[in-house]
Structure 1
Amino acid sequence: MGATEDLGTRPAGGTAGIGRAHAKAIVLGEHAVVYGSPALALPIPELTVTARAGWGTRSRDDSDDDLSFTMPGSASRAVVAQASHSLRRLINAFEARTGAHSRTPLTVGLNGAIPPGRGLGSSAANSRAVVLALAGLFGRELTEDVAFDLVQTAENMTHGRASGVDAMAVGASAPLLFQQGRARTPAIGCDDVFIVADSGTAGSTKEAVGLLRAQFGQRTGARETFVQRATLLVGRAVRYLAEGRPAELGACMTDYHELMHEAGLSTDRIDALVRAALAAGSHGAKITGGGLGGCVLALASPRTAGQVTGQLLAAGAVRAWAVPLMGTGSHER
């Protein structure tokens, strides 16, 4: 990387930059992916976030207030303050990586439909949208590798040691199999539907990671057992997905939920939603994301997807989205 380029009071690029990203769900592989296990991830293209970056009216040299940040909706002051702090660090990383710099304050606004704390990749999606908006504002062409690195830097600041699956999945256009920083698109032989159901309770990835790490430290071989079981289930699921065996794929999901439940990463509310999905005829269901709250992911045939969705809502889910495996969008209920 060369010396930082000072582009003056109006950097080359445009008067505004726009960036977009979308949500994701982990089908299998939570937590184990940090230790090298593969993870199967699903993009949710219609749950999006848009970032808009522009220029302020004063010189950064004249004021310490060099960033104006807005989040619409009912976000608390604490949430906005934390997001603003993370954004400043992301902007610094962007400037260092690309050589872009301006003495003019920045204005950044985020507008999105991805609920935070639900295991849907909201922090990674926000970061990717901001990175792309900054690239447009400063007139920088970013490769996917550079965009990934910047989002991953932000994820590590937010969650601690992040695997990278979120940073990659929030920009993916198809399901992906991720392992140790690399991803490929798996073969898909099913036309079934994933249903993402929001429990209405936020989880905490950082807390869940700490809980699991403490368990690994208390029992010899616990980490190896967890990772081996997770790796086996992901491998089977990828094969069943390619072979068009949704019942077996769903069974792998339910088994992974048991793995998460045994580790203390599920909740009574999440368990109840999993039972409701299974009782309604889904092929399988599990918690998705870090745990201790968040969303349930269920797999259903196109014929039973509506019934499964209805039962999840009746069991207490506050909203749900259907994501067809063979489709490109999702539909909220």
Structure 2
Amino acid sequence: MTVLADHFQARWERPPSGTWFAPGRVNLIGEHTDYNDGFVLPFALDKRTLVAAAPASGRTRVVSRNEPGDAEFDTSTVAPGDVPGWAAYVAGVAWALREAGHPVPDADLLVESDVPVGAGLSSSAALECAVAVALTDLAGITLDRTAIAKITRRAENEFVGAPTGGMDQMAAMHGKADMLVFLDTRDDLIERVPFRLARYGLALLVIDTQAPHAHAGGQYGERRADCAAAAEALGVPALRDATVADLDRISDPRIRRRARHVVTEDDRVRQVVDLLSGGVDPRAIGPVLDASHASMRDDFEITVPHVDVAAACARSAGAHGARMTGGGFGGCVIALCDDGDVAGVTTAVEKAYAERGWTAPVAFTAVPSAGAARLE
């Protein structure tokens, strides 16, 4: 049994039926393009959320070893607004499965995660997808990975109320070792793209800036509304259908900047896919990562000083390219480094933070890993 299964046994005096996991994700490039029917290029992390679960004789009981606030609800009746806090993501999955015609029995669920919360690494999608594969297995429901991703996205959008796109759940479900997940969000088609960093003496450093962000509304929602306004001004279904040449037809300068980021970011995603699919040294994507960060900073205006400083310091210390990853307003920076430069880049960012009196960042290297599955 897993260690989490042992904790389950201790709490409920019976073993779980199994333990399931789903990973967090890092988005290599393609920010705020997913809800614009565009392209994204994430990969699944080796940091993940575990769920030990077993059918329950009464109501569903949900406990986290990381977060306070146990929850109880009935899967047959739970509705948006019934369950607060982190457990809303769990209840939302049961609700979304039921709404999709797949009712699930009540269960006891014990959750544990090493995906950092509030860092832009999709801890919420990892929780949702881990719960979804656990509940569907317990109920004997057979769904493909894309179907589960869509159901968990609905849980986040409609039950929790976070207006996110579908990239996070698709990465958590479709991840594979040493592969990126190239996703066309219009039709949910995926293509796996090789990203074998070790072969080239490279590492992808993830720097958690410790500047937390929030997605459920606020400026994330405002950016999404700006993108909708841009598409309407151009008369296109979504910004994925626009070109740079179209942008001069948008009269509002703020809306035009927002659209320019999305249109050029889609182009950058495809450029990275073409480079990596062609077997080039991954160092070649460094300037594209830098351009993405500049676009998020200047046109989409979603960076904050913590991430701008981290990205600039990483480049100055030898990184081939660096950019913010995630929805913005905090979170993480990724830096493509030679193996031998990881320590130096980390130290440079730590020093810059100390000079400013900021909380020290937390850095780790990330490798593309497997998507959601049952452990035992």
The TM-score range, normalised by the shorter chain, is: 0.7 to 0.9
Instruction: Work out the CA distance in 2 between the residues paired with 1:324 and 1:73.
Output: 24
User: Compared with structure 1, are the counterparts of its residues 268 and 99 closer, same or farther at alpha carbon in structure 2 (3 Å cutoff)?
Assistant: closer
1:163 Cα deviation after fit: 2.6
Instruction: Work out the CA distance in 2 between the residues paired with 1:101 and 1:186.
Output: 35
Equivalence for 1:8: none
* Residue aligned with 1:82, SS: coil
* Residue aligned with 2:330, SS: coil
User: Compared with structure 1, are the counterparts of its residues 38 and 245 closer, same or farther at alpha carbon in structure 2 (3 Å cutoff)?
Assistant: same
Maintained 8 Å contact 2:94/2:103: no
Equivalence for 2:288: 252
- Give per-residue Cα distances to partners, 1:85-134, cap 9 Å, x unaligned: 332232122244464444xx432221000112211011111011001111
User: Compared with structure 1, are the counterparts of its residues 55 and 213 closer, same or farther at alpha carbon in structure 2 (3 Å cutoff)?
Assistant: closer
Determine if the alignment matches structure 1 residue 92 to structure 2 residue 92. Answer: no
Maintained 8 Å contact 1:48/1:113: yes
Equivalence for 2:189: 182
Equivalence for 1:61: none
Equivalence for 2:51: 51
- Give per-residue Cα distances to partners, 1:138-169, cap 9 Å, x unaligned: 23333223322222222323464433111111
1:73 Cα deviation after fit: 2.8
Instruction: Work out the CA distance in 2 between the residues paired with 1:73 and 1:125.
Output: 14
Equivalence for 1:270: 307
Amino acid at match of 1:227: V
Tell me, which stretches of 5 or more residues in structure 2 are unaligned?
1-14, 72-82, 230-251, 354-359, 371-376
Matches within 5 A, 1:142-291: 142-157=143-158, 158=160, 160-171=162-173, 172-173=175-176, 174-180=179-185, 181-188=188-195, 191=200, 192-205=202-215, 206-213=217-224, 215-216=226-227, 217=229, 218-219=252-253, 221-242=256-277, 243-262=279-298, 263-291=300-328
Instruction: Work out the CA distance in 2 between the residues paired with 1:313 and 1:110.
Output: 32
1:196 Cα deviation after fit: 0.6
Equivalence for 1:117: 118
Amino acid at match of 1:164: G
Equivalence for 1:322: 365
RMSD of Structure 2 on Structure 1 (CA):
2.8
Maintained 8 Å contact 2:104/2:135: no
Determine if the alignment matches structure 1 residue 295 to structure 2 residue 320. Answer: no
Instruction: Work out the CA distance in 2 between the residues paired with 1:239 and 1:179.
Output: 14
2:347 corresponds, among 302, 306, 310, to 310
Tell me, which stretches of 5 or more residues in structure 1 are unaligned?
1-13, 59-65, 329-333
Instruction: Work out the CA distance in 2 between the residues paired with 1:203 and 1:186.
Output: 29
Q: TM-score normalised to the size of structure 1?
A: 0.81
Q: Greater CA deviation, 290-299 or 246-255?
A: 246-255
1:193 Cα deviation after fit: 1.4
Amino acid at match of 1:267: V
Q: Greater CA deviation, 128-137 or 82-91?
A: 82-91
1:84 Cα deviation after fit: 2.1
Instruction: Work out the CA distance in 1 between the residues paired with 2:331 and 2:69.
Output: 19
1:195 Cα deviation after fit: 0.7
* Residue aligned with 1:244, SS: coil
Q: TM-score normalised to the size of structure 2?
A: 0.72
Equivalence for 2:19: 18
* Residue aligned with 1:81, SS: coil
Instruction: Work out the CA distance in 2 between the residues paired with 1:246 and 1:267.
Output: 27
Equivalence for 2:109: 108
Amino acid at match of 1:165: M
Maintained 8 Å contact 1:270/1:293: yes
Amino acid at match of 2:291: D
- Give per-residue Cα distances to partners, 1:223-244, cap 9 Å, x unaligned: 4422221122222222333342
Amino acid at match of 2:88: H
